[in-house]
Structure 1
């Protein structure tokens, strides 16, 4: 195999062989992700990533801004970029596309979505391997259904890590599919930490009231850490008001931690002859 043939083969391998799009052919006006395959004097042949490597053609007048420019000033073999579909011959499966008719903001938005799609599809491919089925089968059996519900493929795994498999069960997925998705999500998705905050108002008019308040707040911080909060901060914003910030990666768990902390503070300060109330920030 010549170096040119090896280059073309590498370009083909960079494109999903499975059709990710629901329909077999794109529509006129649709923005598509294309990988530049061959560049000729009169135009460029492009493989459409979302359509399993379906070949499309970009005429030179739909690439260059003027006849004084060369196609290679705009495209290079192996480059992935955004094109607009300008012609579809469904019978002959011929697609013409344009680079010039794509606005810069459209290109940025499409590429950002595609980046998420690529990562999500690769995770779905891992799920398919665990289920001993093909990616194409996974897409047809449950992938596209989940994409409809969550908005994109990557969001499937992000939401599962944050909120668990409740929605997956609502959608009627089998236990083995749910378990495979959960396993891949936990292994591959790193959830950004979230923070919840509130204001505790605490009063104790005893001579040693300040000591009681300090002791209660220290107990509250100890409890939050014990229950799994990654970070806990309690500080005065002007007595008798104290702010509490709790950070972690599991929103549901954080809510329970905050609830337990508030319960400890109100119960403990009351036992010590004081009183306390709580106001959530952001609600």
Structure 2
């Protein structure tokens, strides 16, 4: 079995996924799912803002909840928690993160079985992923986007990298972001429409630098304005591709005797 954080303790201020084990008149005892089922306690004053008459009105045995860590005392093996200090957005975000890490743990277990890798090596790998990517799931996300190249700057066995990249690309849909800008393109030549079309084709040359990770689309809004839309794996790549594509279009139309201007936001343009 993979390590399940039996020796780790949460930090004050962390959000933790908990399972309610016992509800009393003065609070609720829970176990922290991500920390080897260590026990924590939610005092009645931390259940909900305002006066609480019956704790069981808000939590029940077996329920999964998200709590904020208030105090940690490893020597007494005691953790104080708050339920009221967690808003809905924080709850949803934490639950999704927890589910993602559960997926990553299962995938790593499969990797270990398929490659015959021992538990100590996999534990070290999880530590590396946490340090380099923030979490194991984030490492899989990077592998889904970039394959084995995601691990080129860290020490990891090639067979592990190959298996992780394969699992990641089979199971994770690469998240794409979309941004847009605007081009004003004009040409007073008799074949001005053809010149503008030729200039817009130059935007496609940008994709050669991104290994098919970037999609570029230009649509007509109304003379002389065109909308240039970029889909890419992340905002940094998208912004860079948008800038390069616009530069290619503008340089091409100028070479053909026309004019071109780029605006990141349409409200910045003067009509």
State the TM-score, normalized to the length of structure 2. 0.67
Q: Which of 30, 36, 44 is the equivalent residue of 2:20?
A: 36
Aligned residues: 258
Point out where structure 1 has 5 or more consecutive residues left out of the alignment.
1-15
Match of 1:211 in 2: 193
1:36-88, CA deviations, whole angstroms, 9 ceiling, x for partnerless residues? 12335565432211212223455667658899723312221111221545463
- Residues in 2 aligned to 1:224 and 1:260: alpha-carbon distance in whole angstroms: 6
Instruction: Say which is worse superposed, 163-172 or 63-72, in terms of deviation.
Output: 63-72
The answer as to whether partners of 2:8 and 2:35 remain within 8 angstroms in 1 is yes
* Residue 85 (structure 2) aligns with: 103
The C-alpha deviation readout for 1:132-180, integer Å capped at 9, x for no partner, is 2689646621212222222333332333334554442212222222222
Match of 2:34 in 1: 50
1:125 paired to 2:109: no
Equivalence for 1:152: 135
1:88 counterpart = 2:73: yes
Aligned-residue CA RMSD in angstroms?
Answer: 4.6
8 A Cα contact 2:15 2:69, kept in partner: yes
From 212, 217, 231, give the equivalent of 1:232.
217
Q: Paired residue for 1:245, among 218, 229, 232? A: 229
TM-score w.r.t. structure 1 length? 0.65
Q: For the Cα contact (< 8 Å) 1:123–1:184, is it kept in 2?
A: no
Q: Quick one: structure 1 residues 186 and 276, their matched pair in 2 at CA, closer, same or farther if it must change by over 3 Å? A: farther
Contact residue 18 and residue 31 of structure 2 kept, 8 A: yes
Q: Does 1:187 align with 2:170?
A: yes
Tell me, in whole angstroms, the C-alpha distance in 2 between the residues paired with 1:111 and 1:260: 37
Q: Which moved more, 1:249-258 or 1:193-202?
A: 249-258
On the 8 A contact 1:34/1:46 being kept in 2, the answer is: yes
Contact 2:145 2:174 (8 Å CA) reproduced: yes
Distance in 2 (CA, whole Å) between partners of 1:158 and 1:259 is 26
C-alpha displacement at 1:261, in angstroms? Answer: 8.4
**C-alpha contact 1:26 1:85 (8 A) present in aligned 2:** no
Q: Is 2:156 the partner of 1:173? A: yes
- Conservation of the 8 A alpha-carbon contact between 1:47 and 1:56: yes
* Aligned-partner Cα distance in 2 for 1:187–1:54: 34
Query: Against the structure 1 CA distance between its residues 129 and 203, is the aligned structure 2 distance closer, same or farther, given a 3 Å change threshold?
Result: same
Partner of 1:12: none
Q: Is the 8 Å Cα contact of residues 124 and 138 (structure 1) preserved in structure 2?
A: no
Does residue 1:79 correspond to 2:63, yes or no?
yes
The structure that has the greater radius of gyration is 1
For structure 2, list consecutive stretches of 5 or more residues without a partner in the other structure: 266-271
